[in-house]
Structure 1
């Protein structure tokens, strides 16, 4: 096995691949051709503080969300142009009229905050308040935290299952599988082609799904030691500790991407199981898109993998 730092993200009819400095966004356009756009990574990742253990996980998460939403927006634009029913909202029109291109940054910030807020409510506030209703019946703090953990995982699985029923999301999950197959092919030392990539699994230890699931698991363990007497304080404390949880999860994902140790595989196994919900077998055309993005980044990196 040879390991690479290149990672990716599935888009709307496309795949984004990230190297240490460069990003390649490959999209299958409505006319059938593949468009590849090269960009530089987030400047956040170049800060010295962003390279420190634990802290780098927090900075990487922010950079990944920023780059990911930007790439997702770019891929969606190809299909918005061909959608006769698509029209900018009044708020978008107002921002572009007043700010021009700077409106992109405002919309990006709103998207990130909205995504973070949605995740906080769904996986943080809802489980805590729902389990908090049992305080009068269950007084054991560890048991309450365990139940909260089960609710969190249940909500996460239910959310993935529900959105996977959408046709467009199933297509994104196929591109997710194409991304993983392409990286596996390279890491196994084979020439990165459709024929070679096709045979590999759609599951990969260095995956966002595994990261999210690991965040849930670490938070369940860490938040067990936070009291249940005041639910508001419990939620605020959990928000304050989120950077620590994200940092620890990131460090493990980095280890999991390179290590074949038994304990690493055991801890990472639940995340791989979850990927069976967030990846699908891609077709050859989807593999072509993932390979185009991967090779574009690889060419820029040279031997610095």
Structure 2
């Protein structure tokens, strides 16, 4: 029988994400990344969460923008660790041995920046530019039919997003990540309901969680539809009317403003996500975030026992204050020892 939500545990803010062959979990003080290695053993890193000294991180609305950037950075770091530990980049690790620690750090920093920029440009192209130009090609005049144009663009944008998730879920490697995502949610749900999660009691809990990043992405798409509607109206009622630029320039102006407004969209979406979780028991609020929860049916799958084991391992390491920090270097050294031992056999 499921217990009620434990408010004290919810305030600890335990959450995370799936990575390659593992899970990242964090609370307000630490984060842990647990990964299953090729030899089937589970290893982990544990670090303190660096306090964000930026005053904006505490301010309503702005905290959503700051938190989004921080999570992107942490997400990349944890993903790199999981890829290396799962044995998917052994050749790159060999090449790193010829570099100093400073050179490795600089190289990883450049790689992280480039990766984030590529991801950002890909997202802008797929979910902002493409829906905009498809709607334009359909023949709807944005200047004359602002609401219809943006509603059509919104439907196309949601269709692309859902289609993208469905397509990538067909790949076995991505499906396994989605299973780890489900395991993460099940463990967090059990913990927030006051249990000491184990392999038996977590199976009663759902793979759906209201604070999930998938729900956040749905909110981002929904908020953008409404906000961009006002953007189009402003451009075509004031800027376009005053300067009368060519049609293509008007389109590019709207598109540029859509991109500039992305931080505002993420800030609003973050506050709505927090509001949705706080008032989750209210029927109207549940109805409002229901589409985001339904999308999690795609991005989370029922996990296998070995995936649940990794999720439990991550939670236990996170909550155990007697376990100090464990670095990536320690994990690499452990892997090297194991590899040497195998060669001697």
TM-score by length of 1: 0.90
Residues 1:262 and 2:270 aligned together: no
Relative to structure 2, which stretch is displaced further, 100-109 or 50-59? 100-109
Deviation at 1:82, TM superposition (A): 7.4
Q: For residues 1-305 of structure 1, what are the structure 2 equivalents within 5 Å?
A: 1-2=5-6, 3=10, 4-43=12-51, 45-80=52-87, 99-135=103-139, 139-227=144-232, 230-259=250-279, 260-300=281-321
Q: Distance in 2 between matches of 1:147 and 1:158?
A: 16
Q: Is the 8 A contact 2:183 2:302 kept in 1?
A: yes
Q: Distance in 1 between matches of 2:98 and 2:21?
A: 29
Deviation at 1:42, TM superposition (A): 4.6
Q: Distance in 1 between matches of 2:102 and 2:153?
A: 46
Q: Distance in 1 between matches of 2:298 and 2:114?
A: 28
Deviation at 1:81, TM superposition (A): 5.6
Q: Is the 8 A contact 1:124 1:152 kept in 2?
A: yes
Q: Deviations over 1:67-93 (max 9, x none)?
A: 01110110000234676xx558x9x99
Larger Rg: 2
Q: Is the 8 A contact 1:42 1:63 kept in 2?
A: no
Q: Is the 8 A contact 2:214 2:299 kept in 1?
A: yes
Structure 1: segments with no counterpart, 5+ residues: none
Q: Is the 8 A contact 2:36 2:86 kept in 1?
A: no
Structure 2: segments with no counterpart, 5+ residues: 237-246, 323-345
TM-score by length of 2: 0.80
Deviation at 1:293, TM superposition (A): 1.2
Q: Is the 8 A contact 1:95 1:103 kept in 2?
A: no
Q: Is the 8 A contact 1:173 1:278 kept in 2?
A: yes
Relative to structure 2, which stretch is displaced further, 202-211 or 292-301? 292-301
Deviation at 1:94, TM superposition (A): 11
Aligned length: 296
